[in-house]
Chain A
Amino acid sequence: MTVSAPAVRTPAGAALRRFRKHPAAVVSVVFIALVVLAAIFARPLSGHDPNAIDLLSARSGPSGGHLLGTDSTGRDVLSRLLFAGRISLGVGIASAAIAVVIGTVLGSIAGLLGGWVDGLVMRLADVFMSFPSLVVIVVVAGILGPSVLTMVIAIGLFQWPVCGRIVRGVTLSLREQEFVLASRATGAGPLWLMRKHIIPAALPPVSVVATLAVAQAIALEATLSFLGLGVQPPAASWGNMLTDAQSLTVIRSEPWLWLSPGIAVALTVLAVNFIGDGLRDAVDPRSSS
């Protein structure tokens, strides 16, 4: 007998349907996709070298040759903006990835093993969460010297506890679920449970915090670079492009210098947050009103 092939209704498929009902999130996905594409194709899109100094055309406003104008040394603002997008998105994604990996590993170990291991991991999370992260990162950057790598690691280290707590929570609730007991009864060990049951179950909520972590990291990168502790010139980042806009005269008379990176940071962070909200509703139907 043949089976009338009904569309196999995967849990992911249902989540996707719910996500599509979120207009802001869907628009944000399109927007972020454009930002990513623009960052990847920064060179052909802008047509300028982001670091090419052209003192003759310094501080000129938007024109046919320089769509977003030029900065104090005559570098093309559009091309710097696009290249800076690479750094900002890269830092955001890389540090969120670090946070997710550390959080997932420590969270599931804490949840599965329980006892003193659980206590240790959770106290460690408390320590990281109670420190003012910005101050610590500033100090670390001061000691190790500012670089993209230290920044990525520092941001990642301070973001893992959120993810760790979620994974631990999922693990604790799964541990007593009958399908996990059934798996254990067949002889499955902790590694198997982690791989086959805990991580797949934790993925939806973790994807939400990961997205929000990306947004936070982009904002944090901008802050650090603005303070001169992140991405170092001449490399462009949205944060250090804003550094140029510290003087009142620039703010008043050369708005193209700070408006475009400012808007880029704001819109990107906002869009990533919208995606996070949409994801949350998609993976957990109960959370939506």
Chain B
Amino acid sequence: MTAEQIPGAAAASVPGAASAPGAAAASVPGAAPAAAQRVGEAPLLRIDGLSVDFHTDDGVVHAVTDVSLEVVAGEIVAIVGESGSGKTVTAMSVLRLLPKAAEVSADAIAFRGTDLRTLSGSELRKVRGGPVGMIFQDPMTALNPVMTIGAQVAEAVVLHQARSDKKAAWQRAVELLRLVGVPDPAERVKQYPHEFSGGMRQRAMIAMAIANDPDLIIADEPTTALDVTIQAQVLALLKKAQAETGAATILITHDLGIVAELADRVVVMYAGRVVETAGVGELFATPRHPYTKGLLASLPRMDVDVDQLDPIPGNPPNMADPPAGCAFHPRCPLARDKCLTDRPPLLAIGAGRTSACHFSEELA
């Protein structure tokens, strides 16, 4: 671990996160997830000093560097970032779902106190789809095209039961599909994925993810492939599933609208590193990293009229050859000489907030 890394700095599980300054905080949802209040409770998931490298033709790509992250029971943590920011790679490394070419190193990837890296393949499969449910962006590729939906949901149930009772599993599959809002589930369980619409497939994926009453759901861009009215349905369903199972959720998305709708806490990533973490209310009200601020400013809004959008200049970094110093400096309005050479550490900037900017004070 590097000296500048603050252990656990990315976590909002710090007691007192609720007493964030600002008048907005009181009415802001998610600034104080109930679970975060319990002092000294071990986090559900703790990632510490995670780095992931990919070896490519263009050399080594540091997809994720030194990411630390904690998720406590029951909260929704959104990981936000643009393509190539490392948000998906971070989440996939939890359940070792990365391709073989990925070189993962970390000080800890602990789920309920167990280091997932020490688990054997079969033990890990017990975790996947059991206490940790997964929802992927593209349900078409995540579902088996030659198995009925019912068989796949029932399989998810059976795999995690001590004794297999196929009939009961099938019943449970029907019940799960009804729960996630698939109409006429008794009939539709017999259908194949291609007979389901995109939204219905995503519902089936959610049914599989919650089949075994998970403690943690990892949802990777769960609505990106869906139309906006279907997205609204699926988001409402995710909210409901989370409320009913009480599962903590890691929500990976590029859509700040979805973050604002669902998340309790937000982790912003840029160029493979965490650049800011905050409760959702604080993040939108007073972003403390120029990248976060820039992202919010560049959004066309339904509720605000502007003549010109205020984009972040330049382009996302080439991850095979990222800028020296602060990776955001070529696009940053605050950048000074220091930023070209010194990478800003991720520092606590208040209760439950961190920012990796030399000049985060100026944004306060």
Contacts and interface: CB of A to CB of B under 8 A. Distances in A.
Contacts of B57: 14, 17-18
* Interface SS of chain A: helix
Nearest to B58: A9
Contacts of A14: 57
A18 B58 CA distance: 12
Interface in B54-89: 57
Interface residues of B, number: 1
Nearest to A14: B57
A18 B56 CA distance: 12
A14 B57 CA distance: 9
A17 B59 CA distance: 13
A11 B227 CA distance: 36
Interface string A161-181: 000000000000000000000
B26 to A, nearest CB: 50
Interface string A222-244: 00000000000000000000000
Contacts of A18: 57
A17 B57 CA distance: 9
Interface in A9-66: 14, 17-18
Nearest to A9: B58
A17 B58 CA distance: 11
A18 B57 CA distance: 9
Interface in B16-73: 57
Nearest to A21: B57
A15 to B, nearest CB: 11
Interface in B287-303: none
A58 to B, nearest CB: 58
B65 to A, nearest CB: 24
A120 B57 CA distance: 43
B230 to A, nearest CB: 25
A93 B145 CA distance: 44
Contacts of A17: 57
A209 B155 CA distance: 44
A248 B57 CA distance: 55
Interface string B300-324: 0000000000000000000000000
Interface string A116-129: 00000000000000
A235 B57 CA distance: 49
Interface in B143-181: none
A162 to B, nearest CB: 29
A223 B57 CA distance: 43
A17 B56 CA distance: 13
A197 B57 CA distance: 26
A147 to B, nearest CB: 49
A14 B56 CA distance: 12
A217 B57 CA distance: 36
Nearest to A18: B57
A51 B57 CA distance: 53
A98 B57 CA distance: 36
A108 B57 CA distance: 33
B291 to A, nearest CB: 26
B256 to A, nearest CB: 28
Interface string A72-90: 0000000000000000000
Interface string B109-122: 00000000000000
A17 to B, nearest CB: 7
A38 to B, nearest CB: 36
A88 B208 CA distance: 62
Interface string B209-243: 00000000000000000000000000000000000
B309 to A, nearest CB: 25
Interface string B340-351: 000000000000
B338 to A, nearest CB: 24
A11 B57 CA distance: 13
A157 to B, nearest CB: 40
A20 to B, nearest CB: 12
A154 to B, nearest CB: 43
A170 to B, nearest CB: 24
A158 to B, nearest CB: 37
A285 B62 CA distance: 22
A67 to B, nearest CB: 45
A283 to B, nearest CB: 14
B312 to A, nearest CB: 22
B315 to A, nearest CB: 16
A5 to B, nearest CB: 16
A285 to B, nearest CB: 9
3 contacts: A14-B57, A17-B57, A18-B57
Interface of B: 57
Top 3 A-B pairs ranked by shortest CB distance? Answer: A17-B57, A14-B57, A18-B57
Interface of A: 14, 17-18
